[in-house]
């Protein structure tokens, strides 16, 4: 039985990073895309005391492989989340460098899951987010029943407007290869600043209320 993982994304404030890290999420995401309101900035550094048990994820959008690997080395990232139109060969190159690869796809009612097939052997996880104005952080869930069309071959992160308010609906997805929840705007007080109490509640309830044997 595997417990559902939790990733807290869009982190950039050092004190807030330390507060959230104390809640022991499985992953913490840092956005290196300048077009995001949660962009970490050019002088950002991850606090040294971030526990090794929290995996560091760099989020990139249509960035060069060289830049991604350089920032991954500088920030000691363990995983890379590709949130743009990155091709399969780029996923292969990043994965060959020893990093976990999470390939994100924007989902709506017309999403074609067959588009995932070429990526299946080149990524560790998919991430399904709500198609919207921005590449991520739109703050709205998509129609999760669409995931019934997915063949469940690659475990996935679920993203898009997740909060304590819709966790019960998440817990109904027990027949799917759901690996982790990706939380961001649904637990914020402002872009990049997470509500510690809300995150604490979400992590506690997730670990208590969901397990899967997929």
Active-site positions read: 9, 129
Using DSSP's 3-state secondary structure scheme, residue 186 falls into helix
> Tokens 């995932």 correspond to what residue?
116
Please give the Cα distance from 130 to 124 (Å, whole number): 20
Instruction: Identify which of 61, 65, 5 has the alpha carbon closest to the alpha carbon of residue 36.
Output: 61
Angle at CA of residue 183, ends 209 and 78, nearest 5°: 105
């Amino acid at each position: 039985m595997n417990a559902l993982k939790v990733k807290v994304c869009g982190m950039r404030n050092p004190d807030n990073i330390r507060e959230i890290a104390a809640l022991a999420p499985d992953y913490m995401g840092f956005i290196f895309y300048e077009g995001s309101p949660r962009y970490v900035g050019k002088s950002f550094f991850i606090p040294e005391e971030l526990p090794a048990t929290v995996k560091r994820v760099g989020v990139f959008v249509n960035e060069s492989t060289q830049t991604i690997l350089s920032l991954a080395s500088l920030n000691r990232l363990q995983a890379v989340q590709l949130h743009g139109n990155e091709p399969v060969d780029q996923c292969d190159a990043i994965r060959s460098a020893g990093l976990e690869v999470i390939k994100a796809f924007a989902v709506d009612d017309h999403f074609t899951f067959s588009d995932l097939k070429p990526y299946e052997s080149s990524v560790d996880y998919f991430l399904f987010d709500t198609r919207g104005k921005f590449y991520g952080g739109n703050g709205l869930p998509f129609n999760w029943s669409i995931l019934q069309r997915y063949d469940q071959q690659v475990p996935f992160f679920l993203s898009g407007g997740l909060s304590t308010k819709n966790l019960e609906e998440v817990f109904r997805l027990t027949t799917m290869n759901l690996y982790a929840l990706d939380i961001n705007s649904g637990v914020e007080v402002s872009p990049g600043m997470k509500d510690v109490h809300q995150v604490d509640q979400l992590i506690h309830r997730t670990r208590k209320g969901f397990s899967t044997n997929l």
